[in-house]
A = this chain, B = another copy of it.
């Protein structure tokens, strides 16, 4: 994204951002299905038709929010990992740092989390553009695990899963797999752990841990600890 050259281009960029900001607020109030262009325009003291100079339709605005959210979440996770690395953390420490960053982001922006990992919006189909940003955290976690495996720092599973992997060849390749024994099943196992990560955050945000767990923050660490056992990763390292 390069700097705008003209006053017009600058104003356009600013207002685009403002519209998205207001839309995020609306999202929090009324959910994705209730996101209303007119409400956004009202908030900005504009004619509702003016929004169409910036987003060709309601769904395009929603897509922009979706992509922004994935990018924001991914960036937060990447920053956390970079910090952990700088502090000399091992694979376990880095993994935990990324998990915690994801939860912290989600707690700060629960409605955007719901947009990413909650119920699909009826009538809305996310375009292909969203695929890449959606994969940023997995793309961040995969090499941590690979390096740990190569360095022999993963406890091998008690019983390996019977081949073949059930992960798509494309994804398997993206993840750097398949690996040599005893880590042939690592990618499959990592996908389960990733599911648990997302599931645990959603459980908390969607209210299913309310009155079930004494402290959500500590619970999350504990859940991640248990989940990491499946890939033989010790989060204290």
Contacts and interface: CB of A to CB of B under 8 A. Distances in A.
B122 A222 contact: no
A167 interface: yes
Contacts of A208: 117, 198
Contact of A161 (B33, B34, B225): B225
Interface residues of A, number: 50
Contacts of A161: 222, 225-226
Contact of A192 (B123, B155, B191, B196): B196
Interface string A118-132: 111111000000000
A3 interface: no
Given A119-B119, A166-B214, A199-B200, 6 more contacts: A166-B218, A170-B211, A191-B212, A192-B200, A195-B200, A230-B230
Interface of A: 29-31, 33-34, 114, 117-123, 155, 157-158, 161, 166-168, 170-171, 188-189, 191-192, 195-196, 198-200, 202-203, 206-208, 211-215, 218-219, 222-223, 225-227, 229-230
